[in-house]
Amino acid sequence: MSTTTSDELREQVRQRYAEAARAVLRDSGRGCCGADGPSDARWGEALYDVEQRGELPDTAVLASLGCGNPTAVADLHEGETVLDLGSGGGIDVILSAKRVGATGKAFGLDMTDEMLALARHNAEDAGIHNAIFLKGLMEDVPLPDASVDVVISNCVINLSTDKAAVLTELARVLRPGGRLAISDIVAEDALTPADRATRGSHCGCIAGALSKGEYEAGLDVAGFEHVAVEFTHSVAEGMHGAIVRAQKA
């Protein structure tokens, strides 16, 4: 029986997000997280309020592919530096850049050229000058140690094939006392990895999800404290959209 390697899974994710960016530019819909089932209020722009959507270019809203709204819980402040993992079309970077103001910075990290191009276009359309988009992997963030105040992410960490490396990188780039405000898909602890795979694909943000206990343990090992994983809405049997919060010790 053949198995899919980590590199193959990453390439599948890259291709799917590249096509999603092209689809937005064609105005023909999306197709990433949640795409295994019908589109509904559990995914994408429906998780942002009308006021937030009004701050954004249409193509940024259409490119929202996540399972939550991390900017709503990140409690961003003027002058802070924010990193968005898997920034996609730039919706959370643009909102963050507005919150931190001209004295702050919002970095967006993505591995997909098409999404980076779309995000830069959206930031320009929104008149945002403190957004910086970087190409790279969340397992190897191209930023210096202790250079970020807040890390946000929207339904992306579940796509990594080395989540321990991601959490270690987050601890590395955050300043002491820095914090996480992550939206992700999280499984109930009773579900095995095999159970999760029966509920959706890796590219659909389901099969690769951590359980609540796995998330908590992984953040503890990486050097975080005040860890909290809060389920917000169901996306499949035993699988939930969740807000993950933690602070670097």
Domain boundaries, the chain: 6-248
Where does 6-248 sit in CATH, by number? 3.40.50.150
Give CA separation, 160 vs 77, 123, 154, in Å. Answer: 29, 26, 13
The tokens for 25 are 């530019």
Q: What count of other Cβ atoms lies within 10 Å of the Cβ of residue 21?
A: 25
Low-confidence spans in the chain with pLDDT less than 70: 1-3, 21, 24-68
The pLDDT, as a whole number, for residue 127 is 94
The pLDDT, as a whole number, for residue 25 is 66
The pLDDT, as a whole number, for residue 48 is 52
The pLDDT, as a whole number, for residue 7 is 86
The pLDDT, as a whole number, for residue 86 is 92
Angle, to 10 degrees, between the axis of helix 212-222 and the axis of helix 163-173? 40
Q: What is the DSSP letter of 130?
A: S
Report the predicted TM-score, pTM, of the whole model to 2 decimal places.
Answer: 0.84
Of residues 166, 184, 174, 183, the one with CA closest to residue 150: 174
Question: How far apart are alpha carbons 1 and 24 in whole angstroms?
Answer: 37
H/E stretch holding 109: strand 105-110
Q: What is the tens place of the pLDDT at every residue in 114-127?
A: 989 989 998 999 99
The tokens for 107 are 């970095």
Phi, psi angle pair for 86, to nearest 5°: 60, 60
Question: How far apart are alpha carbons 170 and 115 in whole angstroms?
Answer: 22
Question: How far apart are alpha carbons 23 and 173 in whole angstroms?
Answer: 33
Q: What count of other Cβ atoms lies within 10 Å of the Cβ of residue 50?
A: 6
Q: What is the tens place of the pLDDT at every residue in 137-178?
A: 999 999 999 999 999 999 899 999 999 999 999 999 999 999
The pLDDT, as a whole number, for residue 187 is 97
